[in-house]
Every structure is written in C-alpha cells, then in structure tokens.
Amino acid sequence: MEERSPEAVRGAVVQTAKALSDPARVQMLELIAHGRACCNLPTEPDTPDGVCVCELQEQLGLGQSLVSYHVRVLKEAGLVREAHRGRWTYYLLDVSGLAALRAFTQELAPVESQGLIKQDPTF
C-alpha cells in the first residue's frame, strides 16, 4: 500500500467529512451500506447487491437529479462505487473511502488517552 503524505490524508478526511455533512447523503450511505436489503428489494442472480438511483429516489423522496448529485459527491469522496449490469448502474459501499477517516480518528485516540482532550460527560 502506498504511503500518503499528511496533506493527502488531511485532504481525504476533509472530502469525506464534507460528503457526510449532508443528512440526505448520510441516509443514502446507510441505505447503500445495507444493499438491497435496505428497501426489501428482491435480489436476482448476477445482480450486484447495490442500490440504483431510482430506488434511492423512492426511499428518500428526492428527485433523480438531486439523488445523482449526492451519489456523485459520495463517489468523489471514495465512499461509494459503481457496479454496472446492462443499462443499470448499482451503487455499493466502498469501505476504502472510510480508511483515511478511520486512520485520522485513530491518531487522535492517543491524544485523548494522555488526557489532552477533555471528554464531554454527555457521551
């Protein structure tokens, strides 16, 4: 695996955070993460376990262009990938996109354990 510069890691974290800053995209990511089971959709042989834009539209009550925009933002952040079958495109969770965010938060854990970050007692 290629070692990324601190600037590249920060850039990926910022892009992921921006992608997750919209409630509709967070809900969309949850639906995509659960695959076809999210919406009680039938599965077919040779069909990816992803969700298509039309299914996201139905679940979220959003128009096609808005859903497509949100999917593009999630794709650009590396959180979603595409799988094509015929003329259909299915969207699946791309866990590699969460890697930079996970690595960043794990780097913060030692700082917290040293008592440099005061924990909020409500958590």
Q: Using the structure block, give the residue that is written with the tokens 């890697």.
A: 99
User: pLDDT tens for residues 6-36?
Assistant: 888 888 889 999 999 999 999 999 999 888 7
Specify the pTM.
0.77
| In the chain, where the domains are located | 6-104
How far is residue 63's CA from residue 65's CA, in Å, rounded to a whole number? 6
Q: Is there a contact between 36 and 50 (Cβ–Cβ < 8 Å)? A: yes
User: pLDDT tens for residues 46-86?
Assistant: 656 788 898 899 999 999 999 999 999 999 999 999 988 88
Residue 38 has pLDDT above 90, yes or no: no
Assigned architecture for domain 6-104? Orthogonal Bundle (1.10)
More confident site: 97 or 121: 97
